[in-house]
């Protein structure tokens, strides 16, 4: 097993990780949306947001895995962090870097791995990664989609950090302005949820377009809309499809 190298910018990288105040925090709804979307989109057993700390990798969000962290020395993600590039391992049992890794020879029995770096303030803090117990291929197009999701995680971490630092109310809009009406309904994400709850069979495309444009105008990454639509699909599938049609 090859132990992941320490990147040359490790001191600054760990400083940024501490500045975000994310380690060991409660589950984050937006990150959980992204891992759920990853698991479904790519058809894998496990999807994680992994943040590489000094001696461990901690999972800010996890789907399909019970443990909240694993040692950094065993971490596939730490290899991606060290090079600040995406990493794809089609079959870990055939890769000398990982063949005797305890996460390969034991639970969760990693065969396939793909991870895209989460970069915040110029530092690769971790990855959005996919794991499966079966070997598989992963196309360049898929890797691009995974990187988009990692960029959305970075956006979410930055936004969360700004809110924590400013101690702003949860209903504050993303660019600091209130969108008409005030209160919790002024958050466009909240408005979308309330709309879908109130009109589960509505086909009001005009209102959906208004909400979608508001989300776009506040620089919400498109993949966040896709993750939200995926989460709503079970109970509001038509609405989710209308929303994605308006932001395609």
Q: Is 218 exposed, middle or buried (CB count within 10 Å of its CB: 0-12, 13-18, 19+)?
A: middle
Cα–Cα dist 37/57, whole Å: 21
Name the superfamily (CATH) of residues 10-164: GAF domain (3.30.450.40)
Q: What is the pLDDT of residue 170?
A: 37
Q: What is the pLDDT of residue 29?
A: 84
pLDDT in tens, 38-67: 998 999 999 999 999 999 999 999 999 999
Q: Is the dihedral of CA 100, 1, 114, 149 positive or negative?
A: positive
pLDDT in tens, 162-194: 654 444 433 333 333 233 334 444 555 555 555
Instruction: Specify the pairing of strand 69-71 against strand 87-89.
Output: unpaired
Q: What is the pLDDT of residue 224?
A: 72
Question: Which of 34-38, 45-49, 150-154, 241-245 holds the top average pLDDT?
Answer: 45-49
Mean per-residue pLDDT, 67-92:
97
Average pLDDT taken over every residue of the chain? 80
Residue spans in the chain of domains classed CATH 3.30.450.40: 10-164
User: Given a cut of 90, is residue 118 above it in pLDDT?
Assistant: yes
Q: What is the pLDDT of residue 50?
A: 98
User: Given a cut of 70, is residue 81 above it in pLDDT?
Assistant: yes
Mean per-residue pLDDT, 16-31:
92
Cα–Cα dist 178/245, whole Å: 26
Q: What is the pLDDT of residue 176?
A: 31
Question: Which of 173-177, 197-201, 207-211 holds the top average pLDDT?
Answer: 207-211
Q: What is the pLDDT of residue 195?
A: 55
pLDDT band per the 50, 70, 90 thresholds, residue 154: very high
- Range from 44-58, 73-87, 95-109, 204-218 carrying the lowest mean pLDDT: 204-218
Give pTM, 2 decimals: 0.74
Instruction: Specify the pairing of strand 46-52 against strand 123-132.
Output: antiparallel
Mean per-residue pLDDT, 196-206:
51
Secondary structure (3-state) at 136: coil
Cis peptide before 108 (omega within 30 of 0): yes
Name the DSSP class of 133.
Answer: S
Closest CA relative to residue 52, chosen from 30, 83, 27? 83
> Beta-carbon neighbour count of residue 9 at 10 Å?
14
User: Given a cut of 80, is residue 73 above it in pLDDT?
Assistant: yes
């Amino acid at each position: 097993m090859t132990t992941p190298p320490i990147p040359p910018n490790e001191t600054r990288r760990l400083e940024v990780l501490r500045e975000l105040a994310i380690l060991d925090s409660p589950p984050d709804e937006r990150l959980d949306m992204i891992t759920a979307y990853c698991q479904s989109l790519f058809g894998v057993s496990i999807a994680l947001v992994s943040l590489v700390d000094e001696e461990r990798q901690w999972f800010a969000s996890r789907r399909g895995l019970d443990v909240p962290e694993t040692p950094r020395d065993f971490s596939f993600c730490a290899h991606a962090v060290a090079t600040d590039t995406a990493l794809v391992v089609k079959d870990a049992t055939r890769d000398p870097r990982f063949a005797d890794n305890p996460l390969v020879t034991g639970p969760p029995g990693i065969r396939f791995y793909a991870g895209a770096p989460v970069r915040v303030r110029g530092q690769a803090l971790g990855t959005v990664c996919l794991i499966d117990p079966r070997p598989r291929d992963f196309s360049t197009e898929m890797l691009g989609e995974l990187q988009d999701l990692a960029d959305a995680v970075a956006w979410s971490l930055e936004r969360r950090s700004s809110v924590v630092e400013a101690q702003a109310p949860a209903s504050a809009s993303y660019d600091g302005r209130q969108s008409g009406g005030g209160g919790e309904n002024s958050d466009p994400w909240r408005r979308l949820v309330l709309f879908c709850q109130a009109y589960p069979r509505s086909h009001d495309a005009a209102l959906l377009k208004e909400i979608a444009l508001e989300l776009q105008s506040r620089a919400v990454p498109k993949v966040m809309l896709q993750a939200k639509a995926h989460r709503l699909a079970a109970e509001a599938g038509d609405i989710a499809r209308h929303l994605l049609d308006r932001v395609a």
